[in-house]
Amino acid sequence: MKHDTQNKLAPTTIVLHWLVGITIIGLLASGVYMAENGVYTLFPWHKAFGFLILFVALARVFWRFKNGWPSAAGNYTALEHRLAHVVHWVLIGATLLMPISGLMGSVLGGHGLDVFGIEVFAQNFSVEDPEKTLPINYELSKLGSAVHFYLGYVVIGALVLHIVGALKHHIIDKDGTLRRMLGKQI
């Protein structure tokens, strides 16, 4: 399997970046939309895609550890370098913590998980009232929901910095940072 070099990123890096990246943007947008408007029709999709992307994100984290981080494609200042590094850690960490906390909130809250018609975790119905679901672990489900909520907004902040940084390198510095992530040799 090809590795990243300073002039060209490996196809694995590029495919994993955009597959995870675009899915995460969709999940952030659908999550905020649902929570702000109380519209829950997108909910089963949000949960199913959120669950599936966890496995791709795990493969990506494994790839990052095996391959290291790609070296800078331009002349970054020390501050830019550090900021980019922190933002990359927040983003890649969130690709694991967002689905895990979402799962904790839902599954430990007793709501179960259905992935496009396949029941992965069953709902925890009350014995007295089979219409009602009961939490499996109330405290942990509340912790999961709180992490999911607050971390969601941290990720949105980190993502704004990430995209502004990518555009700054492309438009102002005119270096190869963005072109390299689009698969070009620089």
| Interacting residues toward ligand HEM by CB under 6 A | 13, 17, 20-21, 24-25, 27-28, 31-32, 34-35, 46-47, 50-51, 53, 64, 70, 72-73, 84, 88, 91-92, 95, 98-99, 102-103, 105-106, 113, 148-149, 152, 159, 162-163, 166, 177-178, 181
Measured CA to CA, the distance from residue 154 to residue 149 in angstroms comes to: 9
**Residue 170 DSSP code:** I
- Based on CB atoms, which residue is closest to ligand HEM, 69 or 126? 69
- Based on CB atoms, which residue is closest to ligand HEM, 126 or 153? 153
Tokens 């949000």 correspond to what residue?
46
Closest CA to 167 of 155, 182, 154, 152: 182
Q: Which residue is nearest to ligand HEM (CB)?
A: 31
Task: Tell the smallest beta-carbon distance from residue 56 to ligand HEM (Å).
Answer: 10
Amino acid at 73: A
- Based on CB atoms, which residue is closest to ligand HEM, 55 or 149? 149
* End-to-end Cα spacing for the chain: 20
In the numeric block, which tokens belong to residue 153?
A: 């907004």
Dihedral-angle region of residue 89 (phi above 0 means left; psi in -120 to 50 means alpha; beta otherwise): alpha
- Based on CB atoms, which residue is closest to ligand HEM, 16 or 127? 16
Task: Tell the smallest beta-carbon distance from residue 128 to ligand HEM (Å).
Answer: 25
